[in-house]
Structure formats: structure tokens, C-alpha cells
Structure 1
Amino acid sequence: MTGSETTFSQRDTESPRERRYNAILDAAEALFLEHGYERTSLADIVRRSGGSLATLYDLFGNKQGLLRAIATRWSDETAFCPLDPAVTATMSHVDTLKSYAFRQSDAMQSPRAIALMRMLVSESVRDRDFAAGIYRDIHLPAIAELTELFTRWAAAGEADIDDPQAAAKLFLNIVFGDSMLNALAGIEEESLGREEIDWRLRPFISHFRIGQIH
């Protein structure tokens, strides 16, 4: 089963509008991956999903709206912000950061994710407003989630972080920055392994004294 598929139990609880929304989104993602974003027309998507162009325009606005919705769904499916306090409360702070980094690195190195990122970058270069929307939908929630976590640790005396938001941005850049560029450029490199991610995180954890002060 691919990441864009939905279980029967989930589909049973959807309204007709939600089913139509997901059918169009599934068809669009499949066609974008098969033929490329530029070579896929809205008519192609309607033929595969059923329905009408009017419904597609009503739900997504245009082809960019479809791509943005696909990207948002992907980030939700891969739990781009998985820092649930109920889960992290049972882990050490260091293990929390490592678990986050491992999971997101794995998700971003999948063939589906790499293909999607290339489409997003290509369209973002062409349209600045689209780029801003993707940044708001995907990147800012990750920064906000990490910022909240670092703020909580600092307030509890469990880390020495004077600027939680800057630390959140630094963390994401340390772990993902060059990996994303390599994927987008099509550079044939092995994805970051857990040992390398662990090595990258050591100075971050040490500098901010995460889990070391009270």
C-alpha cells in the first residue's frame, strides 16, 4: 500500500465530498509521479479520478493547489511534527531528538518524497507565492513544534537554549540541509545513516546542554 492510500475503515467514515477530494488527490499524485507535474493535465486527472473539472476547481483551485495539497498530505502522513508530549515524556531528551531526526530522515529519503520535493522546488522557483505557501504549510509547523519543545526544556532547566526558535531552525539545517539538496540535485549518494545523524547531533546536544542541567 502506498502512502497516499486510505484504509477501507477510513473511507467508510468520509463524506461524499471527502471521498471525491481524496480520489482526485490520489489520481493527481499517481499521475504526477508517473508522468511528471508539467506533463499531467487537469483533464488527465479528471479522467482517472472521475467527477468533473468544476469539482476539481472547487476543491483545489488549480493544478498548483493539487500539488500543495499532495505535499501537505505527505507531511501529515510522515508525521513531520511527531513530538507528542505523551510520547516524549517517556524518552530522554537526547533520544527524543534522535528519534525525530531518524524518522524524518527516513521519510525524506523515500523515492516518493524525493520525487515530490523535486516537483515542489521546480514549481517554487517558477512561482514565489507557491513557494511561500509550501514554506508555511510544511516547514513552519516543524519549526513551531521544535520551538515549543525547546522552550519547554529551557523553562524546566533541562537545556540551556536562549533562543528556541533559532535552535529549532539550526537543528533542522544540521540534520536535513545537505540531504535535501543532494536529493533534489539527483546526486547519487547514500542517505544519511543513523551513525552520521548521531555524529551531527553531538555538538548541538553538547552546546545547548540538552538533558544536562537542572
Structure 2
Amino acid sequence: MQQAENSEGNQALTPRQRAVLDAALRLLVEEGDHLTMNAVARRASCSKETLYKWFGDRDGLLTATVRWQASKVRVVPVDPGNVDLVSLTESLEGYARDWLKVIASDTSIALNRVAVSHAGSGKDGLGAMVLENGRFALATRLKPVLDAGKRAGYLAFEDAETAFRTFFGLVGRDVQIRLLLGDWPGLTEAAIAEDAARATRQFLTLYGVRKEP
């Protein structure tokens, strides 16, 4: 199986930088909107100068944090010249499982709550960062898989964005809004695997092409 792709730029992060971003995520969980460069430096046991060197200002740190969290949703690529229904299904199910695991984490819930509170408030644009480096970036990474399935004759759609939005909706359903509002929809490992498989089956029912033997 081919190695899963991370979102753009995260391959270059050092283990130390990843630890700093994890510290920033933990602070978002604990303190919400009160994330500062000083607080991250203290929690990560590094200097503010190092943070500014690596990430620029606070917006740069937030953007890197969002990208790091989004990179945990992997996309297993398919071989464009040798796509079969099994590899296509495995790629879609794996993406769905990872996305559900990520959005159900306390770090993603905290990050999304802060982003929603910032939307339209004239603050630092965290909402736009989350959209650009989260949902939009995830679409960019999955669409080549959808396009490969279409070229191989297993999928039929006119627009990859519409197909992606359908799949995204089948996977997410009402889960994310329930999480943001403090409800826990029972996302155990087994439930996540079942939801991912069901969403993939539903998507293939809507967009799949039955090939003759």
C-alpha cells in the first residue's frame, strides 16, 4: 500500500516543531481564545524568538497549527493507471475514518469553537484559516482520488467539488455540529469504522458505475 499523503508543508516539520504545535493545540483546549505566543513558549519550553523564527506572528502559528491538525487526515493515493474498486474503496474509507477521528478529538473541537467565535468578529481571521487549511485543503487532496476513480470507470460525476461535498456530507452528517454544541455522538473506534464504511457504500451507490464482468 502506498504511503498516505500529509497536507502540504507538514513533511518539512521537525519533531520539535510538531511538539510545539501540539502544545499550542493543548492550550487551545484549555484556554480557548486566550492563546498567546508567550503562553505557547512557556508550555513548549522554548523562546518566543524561536516561535517567531519558525512561524512568524500569532497568525502564522495558528495557521501552522491548523495545518498540523488537518494533516492527521490522511489520503491514501491510488495508482491512476491501475485503479480498482478495492483500492478506491479503501482510500475513501481510510479518509473517512481519519476525518471522523480528527474532528472528534478535543483539540479539533476546541479549535473549531474558537474559529466559529471569530467568524465575522473582525478578529484574527482564524475562521478563514480553518476553512483554507482544513476543509478546502482536504478537498484538494481527495479530489485526485475521485478523478482517478472516474477515469477508471468506477465513478460518474460532472463536477469533482460536488462529488466531494456529497461524500463529505455522508461522512460528517450532523456529527460536527453536535460535537461543537457539547453532545457526544458515540464515536468509538468501532462506530467510526462502521460510519466510514457506510458513508463509502452510500457514496458508491450514488456515484458508482457498475462494470460488466
1:208 aligns with 2:201: no
Is 1:189 the counterpart of 2:185 in the alignment?
A: yes
Q: Who is 2:5 aligned against?
A: none
What is the count of residue pairs matched by the alignment? 194
> RCO greater where, 1 or 2, for CA within 8 Å and sep 6 or more?
2
Contact 1:32 1:40 in 2 (8 A): yes
Alignment of 1:1-214 (within 5 A): 21-22=17-18, 24-33=20-29, 35-76=30-71, 78=72, 80-85=73-78, 91-126=86-121, 127=123, 129-191=125-187, 193-210=192-209, 212-213=210-211
Q: Please provide the CA RMSD for this pair.
A: 3.1
> Which is worse superposed, 67-76 or 109-118?
109-118
CA deviation after TM superposition for structure 1 residue 84, in Å: 1.9
| Cα 1:89/1:108, change in 2 over 3 Å | farther
Residue 66 of structure 1 and its aligned partner are, at CA, apart by 2.1
Write the letter of the residue equivalent to 1:186.
G
Partner deviation per Cα, 1:145-198 (whole Å, 9 max, x = no partner): 222122222222222222222101211122114211111111233235444444
CA displacement at 1:63 relative to structure 2:
2.9
More helix by share: 1
Is the contact between residue 82 and residue 100 of structure 1 (CA under 8 Å) also seen in structure 2?
yes
Identity over aligned pairs, percent: 23
Relative distance call for 1:152 and 1:189 in structure 2 (3 A) is: closer
> Secondary structure, in 3 states, of the residue corresponding to 1:38?
coil
